[in-house]
């Protein structure tokens, strides 16, 4: 029988209820992730990048072409493309390469990745002679052990320094030895104003702040509030997992969900990780936790808002978001925080359209 190697990802529990609608993005059919820069909204859908005005939600332009040639983006089932928008350029990332575009979508250059186990590249130096990135590297040790590492890379995409390391969400590469953490404790990381922010939630409620050389500037540590993982949570996560579009794509590759689920063992925790993910914006750290409540029938989740000294400024309950781990591990999300607001895409199933929604983080 043919041996198949998988790097599986999965969806976490979540939903979106009673959003505040900003506008309908009629050009979209199956988006992968969004980002904001100044007053422009960027949406990645397969090989295409759409740009909208945030002021009036008008479509401005699109660029990107499917393929493997210069400036072309591959669209691989189960793997989202992503972008990082900088002051003077856009860095697009596919499964196999990085592509630099002008803001108008003209090709500047591209660089092939040395390995498919490198992804989530964020620039930390803009000038070509000083190019550096923070990115995720999955280290495979033998057939059954894998590690998740966050590293600084140079312009040739070679590791300069390892910043953080923990066990990867999947152990084992070959069925039936694969084990998946169904509530994955990802290392999330951000670059903001010359600093690197890394969550250390495998060790507690911890945020590491480093300079662009990888030197530690500060550690923020708070009490770890234990949130119990329940049987109802397990059922909900399994349902979300198998209905996620990226998992469906992987299921289709092997003949369906029944075949896919028999290839791995699902691991579930007794308690949730203390940190779900982080965003850094407006000189603040927005830490999303697993605390969930129902407010007049609406599902909400907690964000702990801190300054860079670790002072808790406030706790915000915002609409609960469906989060795909496949998007999360790539740094490709359907939501972002900008100017004190949570922006996110929501599918209007009845109208078969995608809408942008916003929530004040107050």
Residue whose pair of structure tokens reads 């856009």 in the numeric block: 90
Question: What does the domain layout of the chain look like in residue ranges?
Answer: 11-360
Q: How confident is the model at residue 7 (pLDDT cuts 50, 70, 90)?
A: very low
- Tens digits of residue pLDDT in 142-153: 777 899 999 999
Report DSSP letters for 96-120, one per residue: SEEEEE-TTS-EEEEEE-S-TTEEE
* Whether residue 169 has pLDDT greater than 90: no
Residue 262: the pLDDT is 87
φ, ψ (nearest 5 deg) of residue 2: -65, 135
Based on the number of CB atoms within 10 Å of its own CB, is 325 exposed (0-12), middle (13-18) or buried (19 or more)? Answer: buried
Beta strands at 264-267 and 178-181: parallel, antiparallel or unpaired = parallel
Q: What is the pLDDT of residues 328-346, one digit of tens each?
A: 666 678 999 999 999 999 9
What's the token pair of residue 350?
A: 């009845």
Q: Read off φ and ψ for residue 79, nearest 5 degrees.
A: -135, 115
How many whole angstroms separate alpha carbon 144 and alpha carbon 137?
A: 17
In this predicted structure, the answer to whether residue 82 has a pLDDT above a threshold of 60 is yes
Extract the tokens encoding 284.
């603040």
Averaged over 117-125, what is the pLDDT?
91
Lowest mean pLDDT among 111-125, 222-236, 313-327: 313-327
Give residue 14's pLDDT band: very low, low, confident or very high (50, 70, 90). Answer: very low
**Stated pTM of the model:** 0.90
Q: What is the pLDDT of residue 126?
A: 60
Q: Which two tokens stand for residue 171?
A: 């152990």
Q: CB of 331 within 8 A of CB of 241?
A: no
First to last CA, the chain: 56
pLDDT at position 1 over 60: no
Fold of 11-360: Neuraminidase (2.120.10)
238 pLDDT above the threshold of 70: yes
Residue 223, C-beta contacts closer than 8 angstroms, at least 6 positions apart: 205
SS3 at position 271: strand
231 CA to centre of own chain: 26
Tell which residue, 335, 340, 338, 341, has the closest CA to residue 323. 335
pLDDT at 194 over 80: yes
Taking each helix axis as running N to C, give the angle between helix 231-243 and helix 245-254, from 0 to 180 degrees, rounded to the nearest 10. 70
Q: Phi, psi (5° rounding) for residue 229?
A: -95, 125
pLDDT at 321: 86
In which order are the strands placed within the sheet that holds 298-306? Answer: 277-281, 284-295, 298-306, 312-319
Q: Give me the chain's average pLDDT, please.
A: 88
Q: Please say whether the beta carbons of 131 and 200 come within 8 A.
A: no
What pLDDT score was predicted for residue 64? 95
């Amino acid at each position: 029988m043919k041996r198949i190697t998988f790097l599986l990802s999965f969806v976490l529990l979540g939903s979106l209820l009673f959003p505040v609608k900003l506008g309908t993005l009629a050009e979209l059919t199956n988006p992968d992730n969004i980002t904001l820069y100044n007053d422009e909204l960027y949406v990645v859908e397969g090989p295409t990048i759409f740009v909208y005005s945030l002021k009036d939600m008008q479509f401005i332009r699109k660029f990107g072409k499917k393929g493997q040639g210069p400036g072309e983006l591959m669209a691989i089932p189960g793997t989202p493309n992503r972008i990082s928008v900088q002051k003077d350029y856009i860095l697009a990332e596919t499964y196999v390469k990085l592509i630099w575009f002008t803001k108008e979508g003209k090709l500047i250059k591209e660089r092939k990745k040395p390995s498919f186990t490198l992804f989530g590249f964020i620039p930390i130096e803009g000038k070509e002679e000083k190019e550096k990135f923070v990115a995720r590297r999955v280290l495979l040790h033998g057939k059954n052990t894998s590690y998740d590492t966050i590293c600084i890379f140079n312009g040739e995409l070679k590791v300069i320094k390892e910043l953080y390391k923990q066990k990867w969400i999947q152990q084992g590469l070959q069925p039936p030895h694969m084990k998946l953490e169904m509530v994955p404790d990802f290392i999330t990381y951000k670059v903001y104003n010359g600093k690197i922010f890394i969550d250390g939630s495998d060790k507690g409620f911890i945020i590491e702040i480093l300079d662009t050389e990888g030197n530690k500037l500060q550690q923020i540590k708070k009490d770890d509030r234990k949130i119990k993982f329940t049987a109802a949570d397990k059922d909900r996560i399994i349902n979300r997992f198998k209905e996620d579009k990226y998992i469906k794509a992987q299921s289709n590759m092997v003949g369906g969900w029944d075949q896919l689920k028999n290839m791995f063992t699902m691991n579930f925790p007794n308690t949730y990780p203390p940190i779900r993910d982080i965003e850094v914006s407006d000189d603040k750290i927005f830490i999303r936790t697993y605390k969930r409540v129902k407010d007049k029938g609406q599902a909400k989740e907690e964000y702990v808002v801190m300054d860079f000294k670790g002072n808790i400024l406030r706790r915000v309950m915002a609409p609960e978001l469906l989060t795909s781990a496949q998007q999360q591990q790539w740094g490709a999300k359907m939501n972002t925080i900008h100017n004190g607001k949570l922006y996110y895409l929501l599918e209007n199933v009845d109208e078969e359209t995608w809408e942008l929604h916003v929530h004040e983080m107050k």
